[in-house]
Structure 1
Amino acid sequence: MALLIHMLACAFGLGSWVAVNGLWVELPLIVNTLPEGWELPSYLTVIIQLANLGPLLVTVMHKLCPGRLKERVVIYSILSIGILSCILLAFFWDRTTIVAGASHSTAFFIITFFLSLVDCTSSVTFLPFMMQLPAKYITTYFIGEGLSGFIPGVVALAQGVGMAKCVNSSQAGGNHTGGNMWSLHTEYLPPNFSTEVFFFFLAAMMCISLAAFVALNRLPRTFELSTENLVPDTVASVSSGLDNPGAETEGGSDKKQGKGAAERRPLLAKHSVYQLTFIYFLVVWVNSATNGVLPSVQTYSCMPYGNLAYHLSAALASVANPVACTIAMFFQNRSLVFLGVLLVLGTGFGSYNMAMAAMSPCPLLRGSAAGEAIIVLSWLLFTGTLSYVKVMVGVILRDRSHNALVWCGAAQQIGSLVGSVIMFPLVNVLQLFKSGDFCNTECPS
């Protein structure tokens, strides 16, 4: 039964961000087809954050009407919307319309909004639902959430997204030059299977998540699944006493038994107001960097090194997330000092990626194998270190209370929103980042 619940929790986590993660790893192919070009990621970050209307409403309902919002109904609804949106995306992703005199990917943006509504709302519904299971299953859920980026990344690698080569082409010379002029241009190789097939694959992943959720709801409420025994004896919890309103309604004998069980458990130190402020700062900062700031400029930081570098950065960086979650399962370090150090390291890798984007189309070591390897590795380590911080913060807040996880999800979306709002005008209005053709751009030596 425990193995089955682990598998279901992992499968349930797949549906949390699989649609949006799938869009990001498919961008090396989409960005060369849709009219927005290199600016497409910055549009996506803003659209994704507009979808924060969903988690905002859920958070307000939890605050104003505690206990009235049925998370099961919300989860059923958003997973169904996600499946339908992925199917529609397969048919309409490349349809364009003229807006303000320019061609835009209207259908793609509208469907992406609904997919983002699903994934953003999962942050404040999936985790609180996992509170019905013992603490050991929440890390398995995070692994599933990490796999929601890893599996699409592996499929994108098999697809051969965005592979390109430089080829010579001739043009007729002018009246004074005569003959033909030769120039290089970028020629994109066809993928092993189409974008439409990839989006149908995302719909299948959402179906798996929905099936796992149905199974979790139908499992018999055994002693292990009882909400009175959320945390194993070997793990202490601060979600007791005043932090656990349910404890106030128990009978006298149950209170005595709960008190005796608590005395046999090693107590965790309660966090001060300053420590909690730092914890939520970690949540905001990590999500601002990983979901808003850096994704907006990934094309500018990677494309100057070639489509292969962009492809590997987008696909392989997704590997770091489930790896970090797996490490967190066996090596849990709740030290806020340690998490702060990891935050600094991850921010350092992100700063390198941002610097290369600012130097586009001529970043450091452009045209060399070392430059390509460094930018891919930097994206890998940036994602990995901050993913570990994200998981451990979730574990810390899970041990506090249901409301702590709800506000953790809200803080995630606030961070993502701040990052995307800051970057959109920098990329699309001020145009501080410059694009270029890998085959034709000449850089000073």
Structure 2
Amino acid sequence: MASPLGTSALSVAADPESRSALQREGAAVYAAFVIFGLGSWSSINAVFVESSFLVSLQPERWALTTWIVLALQAANLVVLFAVRPLLRKMRLSWTAASAASLILAIGSCFGLSLGGYRHVAVLFGAERSLGLLALTFLGGLANCGSSLVFYPLAATFPRRFTTALAVGEGLSGSVAGVLGLVQNHFQKAGALAFSPTTYFGIEAGVSIAAASALLFIDRHRFAEKLRESQEQRSSFVPVVSEEASSGVAGAPAGQSLMSTFWSFRTPLLALFLGAAFSFGVLPSVNPIACLHYSDGQLVLLWSNVVIYGFDPISRLMTAFTNFRRLGGFIVVFLLAASVVLAAAKAKPSEATPGLFGWPWVVPMANVVFAASFGYARTMAFLILKDASGDSASAEYRYWAAGFAVQSGSFAGSVVSLLLVEVFKAL
């Protein structure tokens, strides 16, 4: 039976004391991947959680989240169409590209912690939170880029470390959510327990911890042994061939972007659709669904928190279970998202208080969505890993999966803008 930390191949024929030392070193690398994953969406998760408080301060009010999604997707477009050619030209390794992503995230959080969210300017004929949106864009460059570079780096290690990275990615939201709950629960005289400035400063510290973990992964001798055990080739950002009409020249022979999408259409479709709702539709629609209720701000906070709480748990379950029928998970998280859309469409008179009333439907639907998509997302990467005979194939397929996530995120944001206008008209 394989070691839970993927170290069994290195501990064969070793004496008990040496095996124990290898297990400890494997655990250290595993923990480093979890901490590294904390930096994947740290700044954006922080903005979304804090938006439940900022809606009362910023000029956009309840439309603030929609503008945040716009800034995020503007960054997403840059990542999809501009960053990749830049990385190709610079020939950055996955480690260097990941470090650049984390540096941007740290800068975004520090800018917000220094009060950048307070800067307001007239934009399109109305006051807009220009500072918040600009720093969200910067954080979006970092976090959207993480989908394209963090996982290919994990592909150069045994599959267990993909789960570790995924758990850390989910926990990045949990940390943001717990901080938001503490900030709200320990209010004094109606004031938050600590200011948004402090909140974003803590999140900057999370990104710094992630960068430190990346340095550990890159420099630790046992991590290098794990890489070697994966028959790794030199891992560089894939290069697009000028002659090829599609695909990546750095891809293994016989593979292209289109052929990869077709061969793995179910896991990649799960990533595309889940990202469309997770990063596009639900962040824009959740505030509208909560707007109908007198305690809407609290309901919105809990809706954000439950997503970030159940997501890492469901990701961790992929280490102990092996449910690969992702079509069923797609149906489940689409139904859960539909419940949120129905709640957003409901008229205020239809809302009833209480545990089983409308206010709690939105958080519960978000629980189901987070749990089903979190599991499906991680399992999709593991399916791609298991189907790859070497690290080169795994790196390329993980990059294709990241592209599916970011494409879905952009598509979801476009749909969300249309939905917001429809719900306003109702």
Please give the TM-score of this superposition, normalised by the length of structure 1.
0.77
Inter-CA distance 68–98: structure 2 relative to 1 (3 Å threshold): closer
Task: Give, in whole Å, the separation in 2 of the partners of 1:367 and 1:163.
Answer: 23
Distance 2:252 2:262 in 1: 27
**5 Å matches for 1:297-336?**
297-305=285-293, 306=295, 307-334=297-324
Q: 1:358 to 1:412 in 2, by over 3 A?
A: same
CA distance in 2, matches of 1:210, 1:15: 8
Deviates more, 1:19-28 or 1:217-226: 217-226
- 2:400 is the counterpart of 1:421: no
Q: Which residue of 1 aligns with 2:423?
A: 432
> SS of 2:264's equivalent?
helix
Q: CA deviation at 1:192?
A: 1.0
Structure 1 segments of 4+ aligned residues over 6 angstroms from their partners: 161-164, 245-248
For residues 222 and 281 of structure 1, the distance between their equivalents in structure 2, rounded to whole angstroms, comes to: 32
* Inter-CA distance 273–81: structure 2 relative to 1 (3 Å threshold): closer
**Whole-angstrom distance in 2 between the partners of 1:123 and 1:283:** 11
> Is 1:96 aligned to residue 120 of structure 2?
yes
The 5 Å alignment of 1:280-291 reads: 280-291=268-279
For residues 45 and 261 of structure 2, the distance between their equivalents in structure 1, rounded to whole angstroms, comes to 34
Partners of 1:194 and 1:407 lie apart in 2 by 40
Matched, 1:295 2:283: yes
Write the distance in 2 (CA, Å) between the matches of 1:160 and 1:291. Answer: 24
Q: Is it true that 1:84 corresponds to 2:107 in the alignment?
A: yes
List per-residue Cα deviations over 1:89-122 (Å, max 9, x = no partner).
1221122112243111011111110001000000
The TM-score, its normalising length taken from structure 2, stands at 0.80
Distance 1:142 1:216 in 2: 16
Question: Partner letter of residue 129 of structure 1?
Answer: L
Residues 219 and 426 (structure 1 numbering): CA distance in 2 closer, same or farther, change over 3 Å? same
Shift of 1:272: 9.5
**Structure 1 CA distance, aligned partners of 2:68 and 2:422?**
16
**2:374 is paired with a residue of what secondary structure?**
helix
Aligned residues of 1:28 and 1:161 also touching (Cα < 8 A): no
**1:346 lines up with 2:339 in the alignment:** no
Q: For the residues of structure 1 that align with 2:262 and 2:402, how far apart are their CA atoms? A: 20
Name 2:240's counterpart in structure 1.
none
Name the CA distance, whole Å, in 1 between partners of 2:307 and 2:364.
Answer: 8
Q: Residue 288 of structure 1 aligns to a residue in which SS?
A: helix
**Paired amino acid for 2:110:** I
Cα distance per residue 1:388-435 (max 9 Å; x no partner): 1111111112233211110100110000000101222442xx352379
8 Å Cα contact 1:61-1:69 kept in structure 2: no
Alignment of 1:227-376 (within 5 A): 227-229=228-230, 276-305=264-293, 306=295, 307-334=297-324, 338-362=325-349, 364-371=350-357, 372-376=359-363
Cα distance, 1:73–1:356 mapped onto 2, change above 3 Å: same
Flag the structure with higher helix content.
2
Query: Residues 6-405 of structure 1 correspond to what in structure 2 (within 5 A)?
Result: 6-52=30-76, 53-60=78-85, 68-90=91-113, 91-160=115-184, 189-220=190-221, 224-229=225-230, 276-305=264-293, 306=295, 307-334=297-324, 338-362=325-349, 364-371=350-357, 372-399=359-386, 400=388, 401=393, 402-405=395-398
Q: Secondary structure at the match of 1:370?
A: coil
Deviation string, structure 1 residues 47-79 (Cα, Å, up to 9, x no partner): 1111121244454568x77x9332222222221
- In structure 2, the residue matched to 1:266 is none
Q: Please tell me whether the aligned partners of residues 286 and 344 of structure 2 are also in contact (alpha carbons under 8 angstroms).
A: yes
Q: Which is higher, the Rg of structure 1 or of structure 2?
A: 1
Q: Which runs of 5+ in 1 are unaligned?
A: 165-187, 232-244, 249-270, 436-445
Which residue identity does 2:288 align to in structure 1? Y
Q: What SS does structure 2 have at the residue aligned with 1:134?
A: coil
RMSD: 2.9
User: Is the contact between residue 357 and residue 433 of structure 1 (CA under 8 Å) also seen in structure 2?
Assistant: no
- Of 400, 403, 414 in structure 2, the residue corresponding to residue 410 of structure 1 is 403
- Structure-2 change in CA distance of 1:85 and 1:370 (3 Å): same
Is contact 1:16-1:119 (8 Å) kept?
Answer: yes
- Distance between the aligned counterparts of 1:69 and 1:272, measured in 2? 23
Mapped partners of 1:75, 1:42: distance in 2 = 28
Cα distance in structure 2, aligned partners of 1:153 and 1:272:
35
Aligned residues: 371
Structure 1: distance between partners of 2:355 and 2:187: 16
2:108 is aligned with what amino acid? S
